[in-house]
Structure 1
Amino acid sequence: MRRIFITGTAGFIGFHLARLLLQHGWQVAGYDGITDYYDVGLKRRRHAALLQMPGFTATEAMLEDVSALDAAIDAFRPDVIVHLAAQAGVRYSLENPRSYVESNVIGTFNVMEAARRLGVQHLLMASTSSIYGANESMPFRETDKADGQLTIYAATKKATESMGHAYAHLWNLPTTMFRFFTVYGTWGRPDLAYFKFVDAILNDRPIDIYNHGEMWRDFTCVDDLVEGIRLLIDVPPVRPAPGEAIPEGDSLSKDAPWRVVNIGNSDKVKLLDFVDAIEEVLGKKAIRNYMPMQKGDVPATWADAALLKRLTGYQPKTDIREGMRRFVAWYRDYYGV
């Protein structure tokens, strides 16, 4: 039985990935700090659901607690590590930037050190589409230069990509970074726009629509996202031989077994069309409060996911209406509305 250590299993994406891998017969050890950035009760419900499945164990501790992290990883002896835990949220990084450095940089370093010490078969770590920052050429490709981050959140994620490359080079540690694009779905984060929109509309409160609705996002259903991660687990990067040509469009480093992969729906959707889809699923109109652009935000994101398809044969494809139908059904059940 294959063994995988996942950080952030009480979180939105980590929960879905752990559940998917357990369904595929993996033995999963979860690790999560259960921080109060958003509803702790929701996080504990996620862990409780996972603990009902055979093969799942969990440790509740912070990434920055290196002794607790090392003890959990050393006791489990994983074949693969997937590092998803992070201080998330672009906007919160304007209020509490220090938490991003502590969790995303120091915490990631601790995970990489454990992966190096154990010599795992593959280390996979979450990055973000926010890496692309001020880039205007779309769709975003992994081989694009990405040095114009606009928030400390994005900057910490760029730092972890660089740290991962250095460790892959120095220790021949196969490392895949994935950049997520506007993930939504069941068991989601209450701080995310789609969750807030549904909650507000059902409770007759106005929704804030930034940049007067002139925004585009590559909305990616969490079910598609975790399937992409599952398939990437079995495609560890291999360090190229000296002089070996790297295929066009492949982000594989010439100096290390390291690669970055976009996971997105490859479909740029206007924010107002997304709101229309939510209204359609709910059968209820939103009270729209149009606002200027928020500091640090970008008008558009859009993934080129050709590399993911080339590596795995898989392409995210869930339509936003179908994805939101799933979410609204979960929301009504979870909150009893």
Structure 2
Amino acid sequence: MNRLPRSRVTAEEVLDGLTMAVVAVDDGLRITMLNSACESLFGISRRMALGATLTDAIPHLKPYEDRLRTAQASTTGFIERETELRRNGDPGVTVDWTVTPFAGARKPGLLIELQSLDRHLRISRDEQLQAHFDASRELIRGLAHEIKNPLGGIRGAAQLLEREYPDDGHREYTAVIIREADRLQNLVNRLLGPNRLPQKAALNVHEVLEHVRQLVQAEAPAGVSVLRDYDPSIPELLGDREQLIQAVLNIVRNALQAVDGDGRIVLRTRTRRQFTIGAVRHKLVVQIDIEDDGPGIPPSMVEKIFYPMVTTRAEGTGLGLPIAQYLVHSHGGLIECRSRPGCTVFTLYMPLEST
């Protein structure tokens, strides 16, 4: 009888192959095992974490220390859904997690399994934002069509009146009508955004950012500094140079207005691996952060700032961010925003390579 070959895959290799973070602790809540997904989720080193207490190695779990000790003492596990775990000053991670006591042990430890939900929540949020954006764009197209026709008639009638009554008294009024009709026409065109598809070619993202930095630095007050924090190893991406300059420029100018003559703007680039944009998983994306130390965006406005005509400034048009979002989306990218007083970050994710 032929025997099946023995598997050479170890339990540790199986655990490291899981996308779910797994960590085991002993009766003193000291870490005895953790897998690669756990290292990635919390940004920790296995070598440094083994033997350390759970809450020292993973500060995100510090608020749950008492509950974990209770679960251990009573040998009763628990399940939590959509829990946001935070470490001081860092963005949180959202997880579903399960705590299971080791059965049959005299001094029971705990097995903790954590499934990151950030990717799934991002996909859902991206799809919702894209649906809202598409709906808004269709509404604007319909309104633009209804506005353009009467505007053309008003402008044409004003030109006829100008020829019919060429004296200065009448010309003053017809000039106002023509000028305001042209202003409304330009506003409608800006609402519609660019009317051409991206003309993509290989380009250096830092060349785009440097062009924007020089433009903004020239118009910035003396008290504003525009700093760079670039990763020089980022490869070229395929994009439309002019459209990407416009997208970044719109966001940086918003940051310039936010710091109000005295502050700091930082342009930062990094790469992210295995990153999902919409429903597409990309091997490699470039992450462009535009950070300012202004007063921040009110929480009630963060989810609305990409809608047309929504602005936090009395003199603003509310078109810069929607146009930037449209341009980045047309390149298969994504814009996200996070804000608190003293730190607002707009992040652009652009695909470098996709699966």
Output the TM-score relative to the length of structure 2.
Answer: 0.22
- More strand, by proportion: 2
> Which is higher, the Rg of structure 1 or of structure 2?
2
